[in-house]
Chain A
Amino acid sequence: MEKIGLLIEIKDGEVKPANLGVLTAARGADHDLHVFLLDGDVKRHRAVLENFGAHKIVDIRCEEGALTDNPACRAAAVVEAMEHFDIHTLAGLASARGKDLLARIAAGLGAPLVLDCIRFDLAAHTAEKSQYSGKTIARIQLRGSHAIYGLRPKAVEAQPAPGRAEVVSLTATCPASGLEFIQIRQQTGDAIDLTEADVIISGGRGMKDAQNFKILFECAATMGAAVGASRVAVEAGWVPYSMQVGQTGATVSPKVYLACGISGSVQHFAGMKTARTIIAVNQDPDAAITRTCDYFAVADLFDIIPRLTRRLRQVQKLER
Chain B
Amino acid sequence: MNIYVCIKHVPDSAARIKIVEPNRIDESVTFIINPYDENAVEEAVQLKKQIDGSEVIAVALGPCAAENTLRSALAMGADRAILISTDSRPDSLVTAQALKAAIEGDGGASIIFTGKESIDSEGFQTMYRLAVALSIPVASSVVAFSLEQGFARVECEMEAGATAVMKMALPCVIGAGKALNQPGYPTLPAIMNARKKKIEHLDLADLDIKKFSGSMEVVELKPAVEVRQAKEIKGPPDTVAEEIIRILREEARVL
Q: Which A residues lie at the B interface, using CB under 8 A?
A: 69, 71-72, 95-97, 99-100, 103-104, 106-116, 126, 129-146, 177-196, 198-199, 223, 240-244, 247-249, 255-256, 258, 266-267, 270, 273, 276-279, 281, 290-299, 303-304, 307-308, 310-312, 315
Contact = CB atoms under 8 A, between A and B. Distances in A.
Contacts of B14: 266-267
A130 B58 CA distance: 28
A139 B226 CA distance: 18
Interface residues on B, range: 35 or more
A132 B129 CA distance: 22
Contacts of A290: 230, 232
A146 B242 CA distance: 52
Given A131-B122, A136-B25, A184 B216 contact: no
Contact of B252 (A72, A178, A256, A273): A256
A242 B230 contact: no
Contacts of B143: 241
A178 B168 CA distance: 6
Given A133-B13, A179-B139, A249 B231 contact: no
- Looking at B129, B162, B247, the one whose CB has the most chain A CB atoms below 10 A away is B162
Contact of A267 (B13, B169, B213): B13
Interface string B230-255: 11111001101111110110011111
Contact of A135 (B17, B36, B163, B254): B17
B161 A311 contact: no
Contacts of B219: 126, 139-141
B165 A296 contact: no
Nearest to A177: B137
Interface stretch (B1-9, B47-55, B68-76, B150-158): B150-158
Nearest to A251: B122
Contact of A193 (B36, B160, B217, B229): B160
B191 interface: no
Question: Chain B at the A interface: mostly helix, strand, loop or mixed?
Answer: mixed
Contacts of B96: 107
A242 B132 contact: no
Nearest to A186: B162
Interface of B: 11, 13-14, 17, 19, 23, 25, 35-36, 91-93, 96, 119-125, 128-129, 131-132, 136-141, 143, 153, 155-169, 172, 178-179, 212-224, 226, 228-234, 237-238, 240-245, 247-248, 251-255
A147 B46 CA distance: 39
B29 to A, nearest CB: 10
Nearest to A291: B230
Given A110-B93, A184-B164, A143 B131 contact: no
B188 to A, nearest CB: 24
Given A199-B252, A256-B254, A308-B244, 10 more contacts: A113-B125, A116-B124, A137-B223, A182-B153, A199-B248, A242-B157, A293-B230, A295-B230, A311-B241, A315-B245
Contacts of B212: 110, 144
B252 A277 contact: yes
Contacts of A108: 132
Contacts of B221: 131, 136-139
Contacts of A192: 160
Contacts of B138: 104, 179
Contacts of B179: 241
A69 to B, nearest CB: 7
Contacts of B160: 188, 190-194, 242
Nearest to B139: A179
A178 B167 CA distance: 8
Contacts of B93: 110, 112
A130 B122 contact: yes
B159 A96 contact: yes
Given A112-B93, A138-B218, A106 B120 contact: no
A307 B238 contact: yes
Contacts of A303: 237
B230 A146 contact: no
A96 B13 contact: no
A100 B141 contact: yes
A136 to B, nearest CB: 5
Contacts of B163: 184-185, 187
A100 B116 CA distance: 10
